[in-house]
Amino acid sequence: MAIVAPFKGLTYNLDKKQNLSRLMAPPYDVISKEEQVALYQADPHNVVRLILGEKKTGDSDWDNRYTRAADDFQRWQSDGTLIRTKEPSFYLTAMTYRPGNAEPERVRWGIILLVKIEDSDSGVVLPHERTFSAHKDDRLKLFRSCNAQFSQIFGLYEDPENCILEECRKFSDPSPQMDFELDDGARHRMWVISRTRLFEKVSEVMRHKSIFIADGHHRYETARNFRNIMRARFGEKPANRSYEYVMMYLSNMNDAGLTILPSHRLVKMDSEFDPGNILKKAANWFDIKRFPYNQKNRKGEASELKRLLKENGKVRTSIGFYHNQADNWHLLSLKPGMEKEMGEDLHPSLRELDVLVLSRLILQKCLGLTRKDLDNEEIIHYESNISTTMKAVASGEYQMGFLLNHTRMDQVKEVARNSLVMPRKSTYFFPKVLTGMVFNKIDPHEIIQAP
């Protein structure tokens, strides 16, 4: 089903002795303004200049963040900052990291390659979250200016025997072509593999699989829109033109190194709110318990809160509620049979999601937020760390916080297989795929040789 192919990726010149960690960046959509400035200052060739260029006063149609990215991209190729791989290749990666300070290290393996872009009804590449037009318009402008893809879409496939990764390891060199650490302690390695036999084996296995999009929904839809634009200009044949493919980072969803974090909700409303009234309404659908919260021992309290959420979440949907008017938090556990109160329009697999229980029964019915409000980033903010969430509420930056267990992998698969979508930020696959290790240059006249 899924068609994959090797490609001649662009990488930073590995023959130069340079600090690769200073050239990398997270995906564009998680970079704050402060982080953007820091990345600009880290190195004049940091990838942030390509994926999230600075806006300037006086920007115009002929001089803006997209045209400047295109200029930098072209110049870096001309001066040897970026070098294109001579032969079509797979790019095997290993990321060593800690999910939390007190947790043991994990290694997440991934393969960067090209995947044939599919139409939305093919059932081959499966999304699970909603997308928004503004994000897609932004990425399309970058695509059209640079004719390149700088960030990999994070995809997952099922491989219980791990045969794809084992094949890649057989063909990889003892030492990686990239090996560096970031300031957060994560170690990143990458092997460039140019072996036809490997391409054939992986291609054969992937033909029988679907790919689940873990992160990068906007970028995937943008790649499809770009493909359609290029088809109109250059034609649909031959069928393997470079714009028919998109660069992906594929990881085995059975990989022990795969981590899904929760995505807690922080809420800021214009009007005053009454916590007692919220809890009174919530009691129609939830059993409610109150627990003390000591702000002076935030780390210890967060650990206990996480434990209680996880323990109760094994039996039924459990949500933590904390507001800035008290020194306690509440555990809301869904009463048996209350899923039907979420609405007749929901598929059974969606009613199982904690994020939709929160959305339908608490944010909408208890707080009175509209569905439009739920997509307003001025009202709803997302945070994966419990301590940070509680601190943001205690400081008064947000009025209240709702704490969730993470969405399980089996739930992601069930939703995607039913061609359904979750609310935004329902999953947080951690860590994010690093940007800067390899780029995909799209030449409309280049033919991709799929095995």
Distance CA 225, CA 230 (A): 9
Taking Cα atoms as reference points, which of 178, 241, 231, 143 lies closest to residue 437? Answer: 178
What is the per-residue pLDDT for 274? 86
Indicate the angle between helix axes 217-234 and 133-146, nearest 10 degrees: 50
Give the pLDDT score at 450: 87
Beta strands per DSSP E along 158-270: 178-181, 187-193, 211-215, 245-252, 259-261, 264-267
What is the reported pLDDT for 377?
82
Q: What is the pLDDT of residue 422?
A: 84
How far is Cα 94 from Cα 381, in angstroms, rounded to an integer? Answer: 31
Q: What is the structure's pLDDT at 296?
A: 66
Q: How far is it, in rounded angstroms, from Cα 443 to Cα 243?
A: 8
Per-residue pLDDT, 220: 94
**Residue 266 has what pLDDT?**
95
Per-residue pLDDT of the chain (451 residues; tens, 9 = 90+): 899 999 999 999 988 878 999 999 999 988 989 999 999 999 999 999 999 999 999 999 999 999 999 999 999 999 999 999 999 999 999 999 998 776 789 999 999 999 999 998 888 998 877 777 778 899 999 999 999 999 999 999 999 999 999 999 999 989 999 999 999 899 999 999 999 999 999 999 999 999 999 999 899 999 999 999 999 999 998 989 999 999 999 999 988 899 999 999 999 987 778 888 999 999 999 999 999 877 766 677 788 888 999 999 998 999 999 998 777 899 999 999 998 889 888 898 999 999 999 999 999 999 999 988 888 888 999 999 898 999 999 898 999 999 999 999 889 888 888 888 888 888 889 889 999 999 999 999 999 998 8
* For the chain, counts of helices (H) and of strands (E): 14, 21
Residue pair 214/157 in contact by the 8 Å Cβ criterion: no
- Which pLDDT belongs to residue 297? 66
pTM of the model as a whole: 0.90
Helix (H) or strand (E) holding 404: none
- Res 158: pLDDT: 92
